[in-house]
Every structure is written in structure tokens, then in C-alpha cells.
Structure 1
């Protein structure tokens, strides 16, 4: 059974747009490349044709994976989420207890994660250590660089 992933409305729309683009524009480009390579003659010794067919296979695999992701995607209704605990889609302001640095992250699905935008995957070590915690809680999280202790300052949506 595939894992269910939770998405924001924006993230789900982005996935649908990407799938639509792959099915239309992407397939058309590959079909043109195959047709051009086929027109160049003997297919048994045509590396361009082989490359275009391989690209087509990879493209169809990507479409299939995206369709599977969408079939297991669930839209979270943010208005019904508990604001007292850290959950998926929570925006969490945390403080590194050791050096006093504060950071703010939104916990999102793996495909929506973008560290530059302050969005981390719920599957990441930091997010896993924060899930279920409340404001004022301190948590020790094992990260690749070692153990870090964080205090939860604020939870919002």
C-alpha cells in the first residue's frame, strides 16, 4: 500500500499542473523527437531513435509516479487542525537552546519541501522531532551533525 501524503491547496494544484504539462507538452515533444529520428533511416543503427525511445520510457515512468502520488494525496483542511500541537502544515518557530538562534519552518509533504522557502518535509529529522509537541516544549533531535535541543516558541498556520 502506498503512503498517503498531505498537501496544501497550493501544493496539490502544483502537482496537478505538472502532471498536465507532462501529459500534453512533454509527450508532444517526445513524439516529435521520435518522428524526426525515425525519418533519418535505418532504426537498427539509429542512436538518436534509441535515445528518443528511452526518453519516452522515462517520461512515462515519471507520469505514472506522479499519478500514483496524486491518487494518494489528501488535502488538509487547515481550519480543523489543532493549533496547540505541531502537525503537518504547522508553521513552527523554534529556538536552538545551545546558541539562541531562532528559525521558523512550515512542515509540509516531501514533494513540497523547499528549505529556501522555509518549508521542511514532515519526514525530516527536525520535523519528526517537533511533531506532536506544544509551545514551550523542549525537544532533543538527532540530526546528521549530532544532537540538537530546540524549544518551541510559537505554532501557527
Structure 2
């Protein structure tokens, strides 16, 4: 029996967004490799470069991840010298995460997403890019609204 060609549907928004996100992650990983950072670590540092002293819970919400997974990530980053943890002075149960000097020296990487965007949006006009972001933001909001109301 001849095998059928497995072509995914060209109009599946979830598949296309997921595949594009995977390409963005690959590009980001390539750009971060010389700095010995993973995309997930870069996201944590990106938050800390904007506001140092963020709780693990806040990082988890920002990253749309489980608190336990982010806690393990932060533990690995602390061992690698990227962050330091301290108990909150307001709530001893809350752990705050701070960027180390080593991390601060890499703060020029905070806008690395613009380089990834430039690759993904090559050949797009400014209007095309603005329209794409607008449409994706609307689709994201539609999904959130549906989940919230059902």
C-alpha cells in the first residue's frame, strides 16, 4: 500500500502559530548560544532587566508556566551565577529574584527579540507587520475571552 503524503492543513491557525513560535525559539536559541543562555533563562533575565527583585510567582505568571518549573529554572540560574534569591522583607514565604552583575553585563540582549522578529518578518512591509501583530493580538484576546466565559 502506498503511503499518503502527510501535508498539514494550511489554514490551521494553531499549527501555524505553533510552528512559527518554534522557529522563533530556534532562532533565539542560536543567538543566545554564544552567551550560554537558554531562551527560558533569557526571558527571566528580560524581566529582571526591567524590574529587579521579582517573585518566582510573578515570573511564573509572566512566563505562563507552573511556579514549580520556574522555581527549578531559577535554581539552575542561581547555580550558574545569573541570579540571586532572597526572601521578601514583606513576606518571608515569598522568594525574590535579582539579576547578578554577570546578568547585568548581558542586558544588551534585552532587545534580542527584535532581531528574531526581523528574520521572521523579512520582506514584510511596516503595514504588513503592524497588521499581523494586530490580528494575532485579536486572535489571542478572542481565545482568552472564550476561555474566561466558558
Fold-level similarity (TM above 0.5) = no
Bigger relative contact order (CA 8 A; separation at least 6): 1
Q: TM-score, normalised by structure 2?
A: 0.25
Which structure carries more helix by proportion? Answer: 2
